[in-house]
Amino acid sequence: MGISVFAAAFLIIKVACFLVCSRNLGNTALHDCAESGSLEIMRMLLRFGATMEQDGYGMTPLLSASVTGHTNIVDYLTTHQQTSHKERIDALELLGATFVDKKRDLLGALKYWKRAMDLRYLDSNHVVHKPEPKQLIMAYDYAREVTNGEELDGLISDPDEMRMQALLIRERILGPQHPDTSYYIRYRGAQTNLDPLSPMTASSLLSFAELFSFMLQDRAKGLLGTSVSFEDLMGILSKSVLEIERAVRQTGPVPPEPAQLTKALSIILHLICLLEKVPCSTEQDHYKKETIYSPLHIAASNGHPDIMNLLISSGTHFDSTNAFQQTAMDLLDEKEQARNAIQPINHTTLACLAARVIVKHSLRYRGNIPEKLEAFVLLHR
């Protein structure tokens, strides 16, 4: 009973200090200490041989402390023997960016940026220069990072430029894939100027998809009072499709990067799957099924009567219309052979004919027929 919590932690760490305890993203116990500001436990881990590894985003515990703003951890690790000179500089610059965007402390940010700049020029024979950008980015107003103490001193009179410097530093050190990079790009409103299929845009779209998925799961379990609406999902889905169109239409010597294109298409498929889980009105259900991604219309527009027959035999409604009141037969290739492969009379029922008459003559049917039949009429609208 006399053992303290700290002593118990000491014994546990002494037994397990050489085990690498990693989660899905590669976080080690040192990462957890860095993110929570637990300096004493971190000291204990390092005393017993823990090493500073990178996680799935390439983040060391030192960078994790910089992102979360735990100055006690940063101050300790920047003096540790496992930390290189360049890692000290990156950590201090990233901590300054955190002070700008998370702590809203511009003077504090300048203090850490000056410490980093002093380290860059510590040895006049071996100055650690910032890497030259391959090109200036419109999303950042074509800004470039400050490279010396004089330029750094000039930032104090321009808070907007300090915020832009924080964006540039964060992308350089963390990379465009890191969630913090894309978050502050969105927060600062710079995302509209990014190139098509930018990694930061893809990261933003993926964040929305994951958020919607989380909300729908918790909503189904009764754990969340907020719901995801059809309009919410359609808004992000539309943005995703527009991003693909932007990339495909892009003129220039560099085509869309296949990896980013594949990622964007995967996000679209994810959103479409989530769309099936969202409650819809009758009109929204019709729009979803027949306007967005009707396989029958796609097969017809590409001249594949064989696929059409397969879909119809599997239960797809033959004469449903798209947003332009076109049936699949209207879109089918005009070649006689293709049209002869589909026999409309074999797939048209009396109910279909009745629905067409209702639509053609704009007859009032809402409330006069069962709701299920209302949806059936909408298929023929």
Residues near 170 by beta carbon (within 8 Å), at least 6 away in sequence? 94, 97, 178, 180, 181, 184
* Per-residue pLDDT, 122: 95
* Per-residue pLDDT, 65: 96
* Per-residue pLDDT, 304: 81
Q: Report the candidate in 101, 77, 100 with the shortest Cα–Cα distance to residue 89.
A: 77
Please identify every stretch of the chain with a pLDDT value under 50, giving residue numbers as ranges. 1-3, 11, 14-15, 17-24, 335, 337
Residue with tokens 């005393």: 47
CA atoms within 13 A on the CB side of 333: 13
Report the alpha-carbon distance of residue 255 to residue 13 in Å, rounded: 52
CA atoms within 13 A on the CB side of 371: 4
DSSP H stretches of helix in the chain: 5-16, 29-36, 39-47, 61-68, 71-77, 85-101, 106-120, 149-153, 159-174, 179-187, 199-220, 230-249, 258-275, 282-286, 295-301, 305-313, 328-331, 336-340, 350-360, 371-378
Please write the tens of the pLDDT for every residue from 130-174.
998 877 776 667 789 999 999 998 888 788 889 899 999 999 999
Entry pTM: 0.54
Please write the tens of the pLDDT for every residue from 304-344.
888 888 888 877 777 777 767 777 777 775 545 455 667 66
Check residue 96 and give left, alpha or beta (phi > 0: left; psi -120 to 50: alpha): alpha
Burial class (CB in 10 A: 0-12, 13-18, 19+), 40: exposed
* Per-residue pLDDT, 2: 47
